[in-house]
């Protein structure tokens, strides 16, 4: 079975600083990769996805992620954090089913 590892259950950044949320997966073949965001008291919303083609994918709200096959990673970045980015972020891999990471809670410090 697939496993998805998100390093750091809590990440804090200052407003305007770089956001880096890490995700590694265990699949031996390139899977479909996703990042979801969950704002308080809401459902999960798709931020971006990698299926095939360009390994750097851009999503909503200025986020992007890069698929690195050699590192089995799909880290999420944003150049400049905004207060509204404070949320829970989930990495997910789609093989026979979806496998979610345990989530990373992002805090943005004013």
Footprint on this chain of other proteins (rule: CB under 8 A): 31-32, 34, 36, 41-46, 49, 51-52, 90, 92, 94-98, 100, 102-103
Minimum distance, C-beta of residue 12 to other proteins, in the bound complex (Å): 19
Token pair, residue 58, equals 């851009």
Minimum distance, C-beta of residue 80 to other proteins, in the bound complex (Å): 26
79: helix, strand or coil: coil
Closer to other proteins at the Cβ: 79 or 98?
98
CB 47 within 8 A of CB 57: no
Residue 59: burial class (beta carbons within 10 Å; 0-12, 13-18, 19+): middle
Closer to other proteins at the Cβ: 29 or 83?
29
Closer to other proteins at the Cβ: 18 or 60?
60
Minimum distance, C-beta of residue 82 to other proteins, in the bound complex (Å): 22
40: helix, strand or coil: coil
Closer to other proteins at the Cβ: 70 or 97?
97
Residue 46: C-alpha distances to residues 34, 43, 61, 91, 109 (Å): 7, 10, 11, 10, 24
């Amino acid at each position: 079975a697939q496993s998805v590892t998100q390093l750091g259950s809590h990440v804090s950044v200052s407003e305007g600083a770089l956001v880096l949320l890490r995700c590694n997966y265990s699949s031996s073949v390139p899977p479909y990769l996703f990042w979801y965001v969950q704002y308080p008291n809401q459902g999960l919303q798709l931020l971006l996805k990698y299926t095939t083609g360009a390994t750097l994918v851009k999503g909503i709200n200025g986020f992007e992620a890069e698929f690195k096959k050699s590192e089995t990673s799909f880290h999420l970045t944003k150049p400049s954090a905004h207060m509204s980015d404070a949320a829970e972020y989930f990495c997910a891999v789609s093989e026979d089913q979806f496998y979610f990471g345990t989530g990373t809670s992002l805090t943005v410090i004013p």
